[in-house]
Amino acid sequence: MNWDALRAAGCAVRRPAPLADYTTFRLGGPCPALVACATPEQLTLALGELQTAGQDVVLIGGGSNLLVSDQGLPQVVIRYASDQPQIRRAGDGVEVSGSTGLDDLAAWTVAEGLDGLVYASGIPGTVGGAVAGNAGAFGRQIGDVVETVALLDQAGLLRTAAAGDLRFGYRCSRLQTSGEIVASLRLRLTPGDRAALRQQRAEFLDLRRRKHPDWRVLPTAGSFFKNIAPTSAAGRRQAAGWLLEQAGAQALRVRGARPFEKHANIIVRDGDCTAQDVFDLAQQMAAAVQQKFGLALEREVRLLGRFG
Ligand SMILES: Cc1cc2nc3c(=O)[nH]c(=O)nc-3n(C[C@H](O)[C@H](O)[C@H](O)COP(=O)(O)OP(=O)(O)OC[C@H]3O[C@@H](n4cnc5c(N)ncnc54)[C@H](O)[C@@H]3O)c2cc1C
C-alpha cells in the first residue's frame, strides 16, 4: 500500500489508530490504519489507492453517531471530515463538501441570509454523515433541502444522484446500505431575514445547551434510539425518550454508562466504561420498553465492529 502517495496529497495517515480518538463517545478499539481526508479530491484518491491495494475500507465522518467495538475494526478506516468549511454559492443553489461540519454549514447559511438549515445549528458531525442518516431536529431533516449529491463508490468512481434517488426517510437513506459516499452535494435554500435567522440560531443553540449533554464533557452519540413510527397516518411519532422514562430506564446503569438525566434516550459516559457496557445498557433499556409497552425500539446510533 502506497501510504506516501496519500500523505503527499495531504491526507493524514495513522497506523494503527485508536478509534476512540475519532468518536464523540470516545470509545472503540484500534483499526490497522486511519486515513484522514478533508476534500473530495483526497477522498477520491484514497479510495482508489486502497481499492488498488485490495484493502477493505470503512468510512466515518465526525464519529458522532457511532458506537465502535472495543475490539476495533479489521478494515482501514477513512475519516472524511474537515475543520475548514468548503461551501460556495453556485447559481441559485449552494455547494458543500461532505466533509464540512453540519454546524459550520448552518452558521454559514445564517450569515448568508439563507433559510432551510438553521434548525441544524449545534448538531455535531459532518454534512456527509447528516445526509447518510437524514439528520434532523424539530420535525425537519437535511433531506428536505438536498437537490443533488455527488456520490463515490468504494472504488472512488463518481456519479451524481438526485435527492429522490437517495430514498430519504426518518433518520435514514439508501446510503446506509449502499456503501456509497457523499463527496459533495448541492442544496436548495430560500432567502430569509438575516436578523431573524441569527435569532433562531441563538435560540436553537441555547436549547441544546440546556437540554443536551456537551459531548466534550460527557461523551455521547446523541439519541440512541429512533422515535417510534405512528401506527396510523394521523398519528405522531412516539418519543423514545418518553417511552424509556415511563419504563424506568433512568434507573439503569452499566458501570459508567447511564441515560442522561434530562433525556432518557441519550446514553452518556459518566466514568469508566467500555463500548460493550454502552451496548449492554442499550439492550436493557430497549428490553424495559418492550416489557412495558410491547414496542421494539430501533437503534439510531450505528454500530461498527463486534458486540457480545
Ligand atoms: C450531542 C449530540 C447531539 C446530536 N443531536 C442530533 C440531532 O439533533 N439530530 C440528529 O439527526 N442527530 C443528532 N446527533 C447524531 C449525529 O450528530 C448525527 O447523526 C450526524 O449527522 C452524524 O454525522 P457524522 O459525520 O458524525 O457521522 P458518523 O457518526 O461518522 O457516521 C455515521 C454513519 O454515516 C456514515 N457516513 C459518514 N459520513 C459519510 C459520507 N460522507 N457519506 C456516506 N456516509 C457517511 C458512516 O459510514 C456511518 O454509517 C447528535 C449527536 C450528538 C453527539
Ligand 1 mutation pick, 64, 76, 182, max ligand atoms within 8 A of CB: 64
Eight-state DSSP code of residue 57: E
CATH number among 3.30.43.10, 3.40.710.10, 3.40.50.300, 3.10.180.10, domain 3-80 = 3.30.43.10
Q: Which residues lie closer than 8 Å to 195 by C-beta, 6 or more apart?
A: none
| Residues 82-124 pLDDT 10s | 999 999 999 889 999 999 999 999 999 999 999 999 999 999 9
Phi, psi (deg, nearest 5) at residue 161: -120, 140
By the 10 Å C-beta count (0-12 exposed, 13-18 middle, 19+ buried), 288 is classed as buried
CATH number among 3.30.310.80, 3.90.870.10, 3.90.78.10, 3.30.360.10, domain 214-304 = 3.90.78.10
Residue nearest to atom 51 of ligand 1 (CA): 222
Residue 263 has pLDDT above 60, yes or no: yes
Question: In angstroms, rounded to a whole number, what is the distance separating the alpha carbons of residues 48 and 179?
Answer: 15
| Residues 114-160 pLDDT 10s | 999 999 999 999 999 999 999 999 989 999 999 999 999 988 899 99
Active site residue 82: no
| Residues 234-260 pLDDT 10s | 566 689 999 999 999 999 999 999 999
Question: In angstroms, rounded to a whole number, what is the distance separating the alpha carbons of residues 288 and 251?
Answer: 11
- Residues touching ligand 1 (Cβ under 6 Å) are 24, 59-66, 80, 98, 102, 123-126, 128-130, 132-133, 135-137, 175, 181-182, 212, 215, 220-222, 302
- For residue 102, the ligand 1 atom closest to its alpha carbon is 21
CATH number among 3.40.50.720, 2.40.50.140, 3.40.640.10, 3.30.465.10, domain 87-198 = 3.30.465.10
Phi, psi (deg, nearest 5) at residue 133: -100, 5
Enumerate the domain spans of the chain: 3-80, 87-198, 214-304
What does the mean pLDDT of the chain come to? 95
| Residues 5-25 pLDDT 10s | 999 999 999 999 999 999 999
Query: Which of the following is catalytic: 69, 173, 186, 300?
Result: 300
pLDDT of residue 233: 55
How many angstroms does the Cα of residue 221 sit away from the middle of ligand 1? Answer: 8
Residue 232 has pLDDT above 80, yes or no: no
1 alpha carbon, distance to own chain's centre = 29
pLDDT of residue 17: 98
Phi, psi (deg, nearest 5) at residue 162: -75, 155
Eight-state DSSP code of residue 255: T
pLDDT of residue 156: 87
Query: Which of the following is catalytic: 79, 171, 186, 201?
Result: 171
pLDDT of residue 126: 98
Query: Which of the following is catalytic: 64, 223, 258, 269?
Result: 223
pTM of structure: 0.97
Q: Which of 159, 181, 168 is nearest to 59 (CA)?
A: 181
- Compute the average pLDDT of residues 156-176: 95
- Name the pairing type of β-strands 66-68 and 302-304: parallel
How many angstroms does the Cα of residue 93 sit away from the middle of ligand 1? Answer: 23
How many angstroms does the Cα of residue 225 sit away from the middle of ligand 1? Answer: 13
How many angstroms does the Cα of residue 71 sit away from the middle of ligand 1? Answer: 22
- Compute the average pLDDT of residues 162-177: 96
Phi, psi (deg, nearest 5) at residue 77: -105, 130
Active site residue 223: yes
Q: Which residues lie closer than 8 Å to 71 by C-beta, 6 or more apart?
A: 29, 305, 306
Eight-state DSSP code of residue 116: S
pLDDT of residue 4: 94
Question: In angstroms, rounded to a whole number, what is the distance separating the alpha carbons of residues 45 and 239?
Answer: 42
Active site residue 300: yes
pLDDT of residue 145: 98
